[in-house]
Amino acid sequence: MSTTQKMMRAAGLLMLANLISRFLGFIRESLMAGLFGKTAATDAYNTAFILPDLLYWLLVGGVLSAAFIPVLSEYIAKGQEKEGWKVVSSVTNLIFLSLCSLIIIAMFLTPKFIALQVPGFSPENQQLTVYLTRILLLQPVILALSGITMGILNSYKIFWPSAVGTILYNASIIIFGAIFADSGEAYSISGFAFGVVIGAAVNFLIQVPFLRRIGIRYYPIIDLRHPGVRKIVALSLPIIIMYTLNQLQVIVNSNLGSNLPAGSLTAIWYSYRLFQLPVGIFALAIGVAVFPTLSEQAALRKFKDFLKTVSGAIRLLIFITIPISVGMMVLRFPLIRVLFQHGEFTPRDTELTAIPLLFFALGITAQAIIQVLPRAFYALQNTWLPVILGVLAMVASIIWMLILVGPLAHGGLALAVTLGAVIQMVLLFVFLRRKLGKIDGRRIVATFIKTSIAAAIMGLSVKLSADFLTVWFGIGKIGSLLVLLSGTFIGVVIFIVIAKAFKMEEYALAVELLGRKLRK
């Protein structure tokens, strides 16, 4: 089996798992929307993730996304697994002890952090946010262990245990959220928070048996002088700085959103979840699948193969995400009605949620591509440059938030995120081309143009058909479902016909990627 086929198999597996996981995620969001609507309680729940996420990315996210897999893959590729396990043990022990210490401090400082984070919240809602945040602070340590385990298995090109763990993670949130939820009691939303913590534990435990299969070797050491540990620290430092600064963007978003009408942050959150669906299913799966291969190709200095891998991944993402972006913009109203409009979630909430979704959907392709391009730099063990570019894009996004929140309210906050992603994508393309000498630009641009033409024709056809069918079926739950399914089917057929007429290579890759899973 060729390297490309192995990557396609891994990406297909991850896509299938992500699809199931995202489906469960939408059941979770739909359950929460039906029970609590778009209210101050849901604003508190969504805000409560910010501090735990900050601590996770401060100590763990940069290590896993930029340094852990490339360094461990290099040891494996060179037949030095024993040294690799010493590095893994040292890094794991250091992260565990540091994270536990920070979480204890954070438990005491949570009220002050929340007061600074969302000054527009009422005192009662700030108290609820503090309560939920303290529950969720139990998650980062478990998530860190789960992430490190996933990084080890991915370095050995074993992907499915973590994929299954993600599915069980969302299932746990649904179960515990449903058990404890009471739409008349705001604090009962804590059932979802407890589900997050328990789900993280299940995600970790499901992966542990596979560590034994690959011959885990644990050493109770923290060897900061080991070259591998030093390399991971050096590679992780810029990523840690970037992710920490990125939380500034989240803080500004929440700060500005907290002064908008109640439920605005929830509208952004729900629309963000919808827009992240294709990014999570396709882009993240492809990025995770190609990363170990890119790291191995870079370690063995196979730069021709490296460029081919990067170009193929980007072109495939363009081919997949542009029509999804257009389809989501055209069908956003029936999509939101089907998923969220029931119980306490009203038609007015649907209208408000559709606004940020429109602006988020514009950036799907850019967000997808920046799941791959930074990993190309990380595989080359160059982490400072993509971090600098990411920080520049983040600053631009914050500036756009301050400019756009006035005229566009919560829609302006979503548009600012999209503009930041586009800026980051362009900068990454420019500098990766400078580093590699070429980036297969002509083929990438050709794919973009052909895909955009096909998606534009598809979008116009879907819009006309959706408007016509809405008159017949109405805007109720069943009618919206029929419009959504009909529009999706029409769009897929039209796009495939045009792609085949253009004889696009990416169409064959997509069929290979998706067809194998459908046959199974």
Half-sphere exposure of 247 (CA within 13 A, CB side): 19
Looking at per-residue confidence, does 166 or 215 come out higher? 166
What would the pLDDT profile of 193-237 be if each residue is shown by its tens digit? 999 999 999 989 988 888 778 777 778 888 888 888 888 777 777
* Rounded average pLDDT over 172-181: 86
Can you give the pLDDT at residue 301? Answer: 80
* Rounded average pLDDT over 45-66: 75
Q: Is the pLDDT of residue 427 over 80?
A: yes
What would the pLDDT profile of 368-390 be if each residue is shown by its tens digit? 999 889 888 888 878 788 888 98
User: Encoding tokens for residue 290?
Assistant: 């190609």
**197-211, 290-304, 314-328: least confidently modelled range:** 290-304
Domain assignment of residue 440, yes or no: no
Domain assignment of residue 119, yes or no: yes
Measure Cα distances from 112 to 47, 118, 438, 514 in Å: 14, 10, 49, 48
- In this structure, the dihedral spanned by the alpha carbons of residues 155, 159, 163 and 165, taken in order and rounded to 10 degrees, is -60
The confidence band for 460, taking pLDDT boundaries of 50, 70 and 90, is very high
Domain assignment of residue 90, yes or no: yes
How far apart are alpha carbons 242 and 132 in whole angstroms? Answer: 26
The confidence band for 414, taking pLDDT boundaries of 50, 70 and 90, is very high
How far apart are alpha carbons 371 and 294 in whole angstroms? Answer: 13
Does the predicted model carry a pTM greater than 0.85? Answer: no
Tokens 């002050």 belong to: 112
Looking at per-residue confidence, does 46 or 107 come out higher? 107
The confidence band for 272, taking pLDDT boundaries of 50, 70 and 90, is confident
Q: How far is CA 360 from the centre of its chain?
A: 13
Looking at per-residue confidence, does 39 or 127 come out higher? 127
Q: Is the pLDDT of residue 354 over 60?
A: yes
* Rounded average pLDDT over 386-408: 91
User: Which helix (H) or strand (E) covers residue 385, if one does?
Assistant: helix 384-408
User: Which helix (H) or strand (E) covers residue 10, if one does?
Assistant: helix 3-36
How far apart are alpha carbons 138 and 395 in whole angstroms? Answer: 31
How far apart are alpha carbons 416 and 398 in whole angstroms? Answer: 7
**Averaged pLDDT score across all residues of the chain:** 84
* Rounded average pLDDT over 333-337: 92
Q: Which residues of 281-306 are buried (b: 16+ CB within 10 A; e: fewer)?
A: bbbbbbbbbbbbbbbbbbbeeeeebb
Share of the chain above pLDDT 90, in %: 30
Domain assignment of residue 338, yes or no: no
- Number of structural domains, the chain? 1
Residue 135: give the domain boundaries: 39-252
Most distant CA atoms of the chain, gap in Å: 71
What would the pLDDT profile of 80-108 be if each residue is shown by its tens digit? 777 878 888 888 888 889 889 999 999 99
Q: Is the pLDDT of residue 1 over 60?
A: no
Domain assignment of residue 276, yes or no: no
Q: Is the pLDDT of residue 422 over 90?
A: yes
Can you give the pLDDT at residue 520? Answer: 43
Measure Cα distances from 406 to 400, 402, 423 in Å: 11, 8, 22
Domain assignment of residue 82, yes or no: yes
How far apart are alpha carbons 6 and 144 in whole angstroms? Answer: 27
Q: Is the pLDDT of residue 517 over 50?
A: no
Q: Decide if 132 contacts 189 (C-beta within 8 A).
A: yes
Domain assignment of residue 169, yes or no: yes
Q: Decide if 491 contacts 458 (C-beta within 8 A).
A: yes
Q: Is the pLDDT of residue 7 over 70?
A: no
Tokens 């792609």 belong to: 499
Long-range pairs for 161-164: beta carbons < 8 A, 24 or more residues apart: 161/206, 161/207, 161/210, 162/203, 162/207, 163/13, 163/14, 163/16, 163/17, 163/18, 163/21, 164/17, 164/206
How far apart are alpha carbons 428 and 59 in whole angstroms? Answer: 24
Alpha helices in 37-138 (DSSP H): 40-47, 50-56, 62, 69-77, 81-117, 123-136
Share of the chain above pLDDT 70, in %: 92
What would the pLDDT profile of 278-290 be if each residue is shown by its tens digit? 887 788 778 777 8
User: Encoding tokens for residue 164?
Assistant: 């299954």
The confidence band for 2, taking pLDDT boundaries of 50, 70 and 90, is low
The confidence band for 321, taking pLDDT boundaries of 50, 70 and 90, is very high
Domain assignment of residue 240, yes or no: yes
